[in-house]
Amino acid sequence: MLTKLKEQVQLWLVGEARIAHSLGLTPNKVSGVGIIFALLSTISYWQWKVQPTLFLILAPLFLLVSGFCDALDGVLARHFSATSTFGGFLDSLLDRYTDAMVFAGIILGGLSQISWGLLALTGSLLVSYCRARAEAAGVKMETVGLMERAERIIIIIIASFLTLAWNEALQWGIVLLAVLTNLTVLQRAIYFRKASQKEPKIGVV
């Protein structure tokens, strides 16, 4: 859904990309910074009971910075001709690690029931897998479905801040993600089936 705003977001980030480029940062380096902030977010969720208010503010802020880096590395690559097959692979790989780590931190920190957390994690990873598998078969999957990565990050961030006033906010945010991510997987499966029927050459090997 929010992916439809990607072009506008990319325009907003051109200035930041120029600054990053002038500092000698490459897309892969920015991706590396992003995974570091994702790890800091994970640790903050996991250890939130040490300093509840502080860590429940830091965790979503770190995640937000990680998401910013994820957006910036793509803009940096495109505007300064630094795109590469490996760079795209690495970016996608680190995104999956980020998703897995953050959900693990939330679960280990007791901010979500294990069953709902695992269901949300599974759904999130499968949403991304559906896109990768479908596009490998020639079916464009971007913008298909309710819960793409941007939406998932935003829900976690908002629910995290709400937890400061309502203890169960993040738990219910995870429940929402568990339901909507798996619904998105179903949406993408149906979309792929219809698209594959239109193009007989697009099939599952």
- What residues are labeled active site? 95
Distance, CA of 151 to CA of 141 (rounded, Å): 16
Per DSSP, the residues of the chain read: -GGGGHHHHHHHTHHHHHHHHHTT--HHHHHHHHHHHHHHHHHHHHTTTTSHHHHHHHHHHHHHHHHHHHHHHHHHHHHTT---HHHHHHHHHHHHHHHHHHHHHHHHTTSS-HHHHHHHHHHHHHHHHHHHHHHHTT---TT-SS--HHHHHHHHHHHHHHTTT-TTHHHHHHHHHHHHHHHHHHHHHHHHHHHHHHSTT----
